[in-house]
Amino acid sequence: MKRWLPLAIILLAAVGAIVAVQWQHIAERPSPQAMLDAAAGTQHDLTRIPNHFDRLSDSDEIAIGDQLAANYASGFHQPGDNTAANIATEAYLQTIGTRVAAHARRKLPWKFHYIPQTGFVNAFALPGGHIFVGQGLLALMHSEDALAAVLGHEVEHVDLRHCADRAQTEARLRNLGPIGALAGLPVEVFLAGYSKDQELEADRDGTTLAVATGYSPLGILQLFAEFQKLEDPGTAGNNPGSPVDEAAGLSLETLAGYFRSHPPAAQRIAQVRSLMRANNWPTPPLRPLALPAGK
């Protein structure tokens, strides 16, 4: 009986989603990205099967995250990546990330990693406090304020236990057994993103962390505007050689890794603007992104 329960929940959720769409008469112009978003949203929501496992202790979560980070590190780095510029970039991420994470609820050994790949237009978090940011995503940022909000977003996926819950959910679905087996989870588990509600929650709390650190919320709005251009390929090509046009030239599969796991940029922009009004957030001048030369 227990083995049939997850399947029954998935089927009920699927039927519920179809009914909800019909009831709301949602109309959207068909496009590859729209279909990708819909499929990904369904996939993420259906994997949120209610779990009744014991919450990981901080020490267990940190140990699992350390092992996962060690396992994934080699896959994200190529021979010759250990340059002075890359080392300086990672140190910069650590400095800004540590400032932002100081305002998080959980006091974890936060570690920030740099993935020096222009095609990696993404960022992700692991249980226990490891945060990875790709060169392709940094290229779209115009300010340190945007970086602070992105790092805050990923910190909140850990702070809110989204990462730990995902790891335990996947372990249950894959019948991995003991806690130690969680270290064998593939990186795609964490690259896949979370439910739309969880992503919006990480946006809210992550931007709040950045603002509490003294950064302007206008930074993340600029980055979301860049995302909006990438969501509509028809807007690219107006400024050849720009980071947006370079990102738009990547394959749909590459870009979809980020966009299919996050809400539409317009929705994210609207939420931040609402928070700005509700909390009367200050908008100090944007700080320049202090990346090493050539980044």
pLDDT tops 70 at residue 203: yes
The residue type at 295: K
pLDDT tops 60 at residue 132: yes
Determine phi and psi for 124, rounding to 5 degrees.
-155, 165
pLDDT tops 70 at residue 74: yes
Q: What band does 201 get if pLDDT is binned at 50, 70 and 90?
A: very high
Q: What percent of the chain clears pLDDT 90, i.e. is strictly above it?
A: 56
Largest CA distance in the chain: 60
Spatial separation of the C-alpha atoms in residues 27 and 193, rounded to whole Å: 25
Q: Could you tell me the pTM of the whole model?
A: 0.78
What local confidence, expressed as pLDDT, does residue 28 receive?
36
DSSP character at residue 134: E
DSSP character at residue 238: S
Q: What band does 257 get if pLDDT is binned at 50, 70 and 90?
A: low
Mean pLDDT of 50-78: 84
Spatial separation of the C-alpha atoms in residues 96 and 32, rounded to whole Å: 36
> Within a 10 A sphere around the Cβ of 56, how many other Cβ atoms?
22
